Amino acid sequence: MANNNYLSTLAPGFKPKVYNLGKIPAYQYKGSLGQELEAGNITAQQAVAVLEDMLTIREFEEMIVKLRTGAYESCKGYEYRGPTHVSIGQEATAVGCCAAMAYDDFITSTHRGHGDSLAKGCVAIRGMSVEELKARIPACTADKKKDLMEVALEDHVYRAIAELFGKEDGYCKGRGGGMHIADFKAGHLGANAIVGGGVPIATGSAVSSRYFQNGKVTCCFAGDGAYANGVVLESLNFAAMGQFTDKEYTKRPYGLPIVYAIINNHYGFTGRVDGEVSGTQCVARRAAGFADNNMCAEVVNGMDVLACMDAMRRAAEICRKGEGPVLVEFDTYRNYGHSLGDPRFEYRTREEEAEWKKLDPIANLERQLLENGCITTKKLEALKEKVADRNARMAAKAAWSKDPAPADVIKYMYADTRVEVVPEKFAAVKAEGELPVIKRSEDGQITYKDALKEAMIEEMLRDSRVVQWGEDIAEYGGAFKVTKGLIDAFGRERVFNAPISEACICGTAVGAAMTGLRPVVELMYMDFGLMASDQISNQAAKWHYMSGANIEVPLVYRASVGGGKGYGGQHSQTLESMFAHIPGLYVVYPATPADAKGMLKSAIRDNNPVMFVESQIMYNFKGVVPQEEYLIPLGKADIKRAGDQVTIVTWGPMLYEALKAADMLAEQGVSTEVVDIRSLVPLDMETILASVRKTGRCVVASHAVGIGSFTGEIASRIMAEAFDYLDAPVLRVGAKDGIAPQAYTLEDAFLPHDRDLVAAVRQLL
């Protein structure tokens, strides 16, 4: 068994002791620009660049304020309709953090993320080589880095404003807008309109960096309000897991390289963390609950860009040494309300606002630049004019630039790519131990769960980027033993247990997929997917579209479903219909062992997020499964039995009930065709319609409850697209519109059976 020394846990003896939660330092930085210059931590040129970036953010945000009243001169006549979550006053945190990182590190951001995006892009552009700059702005004919950089910075401002305005030239082609702005080529993995929604994504990107050992650090920007959010706290716990650093667990003791940057501007919407919605003196105190070293937590003056740079420089270094994660709280202030429509003086005073404005980070740095001779008054004014002029020109250009074509409204909903050939550096895979043995019967049969396991073994041997995590999937092999033995074969770097944190499991998979891994994560029961629904539905499903196809999210969520085992209302739901309602997500549900293997292999190779549904009652079903390499395409139905009088369209365990019903109907002289759709999204309507046009009658059946079931979607489309061929209405068969009961007699009555299908067909005839 792999790395299992930790399994021998001794009883503690229960001797009296006191756990010391340590101290969290606050406001320790006492430096100045003069001292930073003397120490060589920054040059005068770099200090001026930091000021320029803060001015760029301030000008951008003040433009939004003026746009709301029509006072932005260069955009006269343009009506701005987007969000107005400005970060005026917080510029030091965005610029200070990004300036202290490597230019190709990662960030994630929030709905108030324009400043973070601008800062990350500016820093990335300054760090790029001439070749990288030319690739970023291919239309530019300049050769000198300085000239290329100026053009790239102008283009950066333009594309950010264009995205804010919902234009085709925006970073995400106008699909994401200001609250979802991203620049993946600059390491910006996206702003998030769900409070705390980007935190597990950032954590997943750090999982990826740790796995690839590429030295990249992720800075996760999130506000104070996010740190009361469940998935955020789950992410802190996930990041600090001992199995990443404990030599008893892993051959690579290396903590997650992530800095959780809490931007504490003192207000969630109107509620204050301080003394109102939190019981701690500082948000950084949260760290004490997740790591014995308090995640190296500290509180920093977020109004001093030099203090922010100092903190992030040290935090990033800790991460690069493998001693992360790190949590830093930046104490700052937003000068406006939650949005421009927020009457902020209903919950805070003008006096409070005036006191904070005295600490303005831009004015503070300007003063120090002048005092230390880094810039003259004349050049300072010229710099301000340059920034304002650049923003005005780019805003005018963006305002009247091309809108996305209405015909392209759902363009980019799905990726159309898959891994046909694994890159050489990921294809040379060696197992670390013996592979699990899949035992076949004499006629070549194996169980459904072994078919899944065989698919995962083959794909993990094919591509080292395929990694797995989930609850209890390591030594134990998962609740249904589907992953049993994989950790022995591939080690804890590729197969590891996750905390009981379904939202974090699903969200970290998104960040890891964005940054190079191909995660296969397990939802023990699909019921738990409701706890993880934001990360599945708002994150995994949407980022390909919201990014304007700038990023792919290749991951697989394996989820067991269904009743029949007496597990009751919270472990027996068949919920694939819910996730089929989410555009951007594939939902597949194979019923036979052969289909399960071929479709899981296809799902792992696909570059879309896939909800891979598995019925608990089918895990021990047997069928013939080829040993040679084969794939079954997603979105292709299969006719499991031919007939010409009635069609039964189904999926999952109802396939077996349908085949039994077809036998019973055959004895009554009724020829039944059984169509196994295998995939809900994408849906093979052509095969369904061809069958219905032949038979003229149809029953659509599944294990899901009738209300809101995907059976209704299929029935509706048949009625709309094959009405002239129908000799009777399309009927549906499913579970009762209720909650799955535990009692055997009740569960048997709750679930649909072959007899229900026979009765429906007799009704049609």
Tens-digit pLDDT profile for residues 434-482: 999 999 999 999 999 999 999 999 999 999 999 999 999 999 999 999 9
In a domain, 209, yes or no: yes
User: Same domain, yes or no, for 642 and 618?
Assistant: no
**How far is 57 from 120, CA to CA, in rounded Å?**
11
| pLDDT tier at 297, thresholds 50, 70, 90 | very high
| pLDDT tier at 546, thresholds 50, 70, 90 | very high
Check if the beta carbon of residue 83 is closer than 8 Å to that of residue 178.
yes
Average pLDDT over every residue of 634-657 = 98
CATH code for the domain in which residue 668 is found: 3.40.50.920
In a domain, 147, yes or no: yes
CATH code for the domain in which residue 522 is found: 3.40.50.970
Residues 234, 235, 237, CA angle at the centre, nearest 5°?
Answer: 65
User: Looking at residue 271, what is its pLDDT?
Assistant: 86
**How far is 96 from 270, CA to CA, in rounded Å?**
26
In a domain, 11, yes or no: no
User: Looking at residue 9, what is its pLDDT?
Assistant: 63
Helix/strand/coil for 491: coil
Q: Which residues are catalytic?
A: 502, 571
Pair of tokens at residue 283: 């948000």
Dihedral angle, C-alpha 327, 331, 335, 338, nearest 10 °: 40
- Tell whether the model's pLDDT for residue 226 goes beyond 70: yes
In a domain, 418, yes or no: no
User: Same domain, yes or no, for 559 and 498?
Assistant: yes
In a domain, 51, yes or no: yes
- Tell whether the model's pLDDT for residue 322 goes beyond 50: yes
**Residues whose CB falls within 8 Å of the CB of residue 14, separated by 6 or more in sequence, listed in order:** none
What are the C-alpha distances in Å from 728 to residues 309, 710, 742, 764, 765?
A: 72, 20, 36, 6, 8
Average pLDDT over every residue of 717-726 = 97
Count the residues in the chain: 765
User: Same domain, yes or no, for 562 and 678?
Assistant: no
User: Looking at residue 358, what is its pLDDT?
Assistant: 97
Which residues are registered as beta bridge partners of 623? 446
Check if the beta carbon of residue 544 is closer than 8 Å to that of residue 586.
no
In a domain, 419, yes or no: no
What are the C-alpha distances in Å from 543 to residues 175, 405, 475, 612, 702?
A: 10, 20, 33, 19, 30
**How far is 532 from 200, CA to CA, in rounded Å?**
11
User: Same domain, yes or no, for 319 and 188?
Assistant: yes
**Sign of the CA dihedral with 161 first, then 163, 167, and 171 last:** positive
Pair of tokens at residue 36: 């930073």
User: Same domain, yes or no, for 150 and 220?
Assistant: yes
Tokens 């935190």 belong to residue: 199
User: Same domain, yes or no, for 45 and 180?
Assistant: yes
In a domain, 16, yes or no: no
User: Looking at residue 206, what is its pLDDT?
Assistant: 98
470-515 pLDDT, tens digit each: 999 999 999 999 999 999 999 999 999 999 999 999 999 999 999 9
Could you tell me whether strands 679-681 and 586-588 are parallel, antiparallel, or unpaired per DSSP bridges?
antiparallel
User: Looking at residue 10, what is its pLDDT?
Assistant: 73
Which residue range is the domain that position 551 belongs to?
Answer: 424-624
- Tell whether the model's pLDDT for residue 4 goes beyond 60: no
User: Looking at residue 7, what is its pLDDT?
Assistant: 53
Helix runs in 336-423, H state only: 350-357, 361-371, 377-399
Check if the beta carbon of residue 61 is closer than 8 Å to that of residue 380.
no
67-91 pLDDT, tens digit each: 988 999 999 999 998 889 999 999 9
Nearest to 201 by CA among 502, 506, 415, 469: 506
Average pLDDT of every residue of the chain = 95
**How far is 553 from 415, CA to CA, in rounded Å?**
9
* Phi, psi at 122, each rounded to 5°: -65, -45
Count of structural domains, the chain: 3
12-42 pLDDT, tens digit each: 788 999 999 999 999 999 999 999 999 999 9
In a domain, 414, yes or no: no
Q: Which of 16-25, 344-353, 656-665 has the highest mean pLDDT?
A: 656-665
Pair of tokens at residue 277: 């919605």
Q: What percent of the chain has pLDDT over 70?
A: 99
User: Same domain, yes or no, for 463 and 358?
Assistant: no
Check if the beta carbon of residue 644 is closer than 8 Å to that of residue 451.
no
**How far is 495 from 598, CA to CA, in rounded Å?**
21
**Residues whose CB falls within 8 Å of the CB of residue 504, separated by 6 or more in sequence, listed in order:** 200, 203, 231, 234, 235, 237, 238, 498, 535
Residues 631, 632, 638, CA angle at the centre, nearest 5°?
Answer: 155
- Tell whether the model's pLDDT for residue 1 goes beyond 80: no
